[in-house]
Amino acid sequence: VIQRPEWEAGAEPELQKKNGFNPADYDLGHEVVLAAGEHDVFGDGRVVCVPTYGHTPGHQSLRVRLDSGDVVLTGDACYFRETLESMRLPSFAHDFDQMRQSLEVLRALRDRGARIFFGHDANFWKDVPQAPLEVV
């Protein structure tokens, strides 16, 4: 499952270079589901791809609905907790305006009670139980 803008950018040589896309990593001849916005992976609302464009043309994060509440895996939409708090963007983004909008989406999910997981925030991960312990 990939957002259509991401897949299309991966087919354009200029955007491949700008975003560090290598077709050998993703164009493997397998079935590709092109999403246009939110995509419910299993049709039950438990795992939903959430468009968080900006870092790349079609970046997506993942919302997982657990019995204990929602968890959002931000990927590269929001590297650090501080980014979400300060709205200070990183030096690289495909589209800074889209990235800002995506941070607002993540803030709204957080404000509705979702636990946000920041992929690159070492300080955040210090407080997260590590396998084999339960995370939530």
**Domain range annotation of the chain:** 37-122
Q: State which fold the 37-122 domain adopts.
A: Metallo-beta-lactamase; Chain A (3.60.15)
Closest CA to 62 of 78, 81, 84: 78
pLDDT bracket for residue 136 (50, 70, 90): low
Closest CA to 38 of 24, 53, 49: 49
Mean pLDDT of the chain: 94
Residue 118 tokens read as 């920041």
Please give the model's pTM, rounded to 2 decimal places.
0.88
Contacts of 36 (CB under 8 A, 6+ apart): 3, 4
Residue 38 tokens read as 């939110």
SS (H, E, C) 41-74: CCCCCCEEEEECCCCCCCCEEEEEEECCEEEEEC
Question: What does each C-alpha distance from 77 to 21, 24, 127, 131, 133 come to in angstroms?
Answer: 16, 23, 21, 24, 26
pLDDT tens for 26-81 read 989 999 999 999 999 999 999 999 999 999 999 999 999 999 999 999 999 999 99
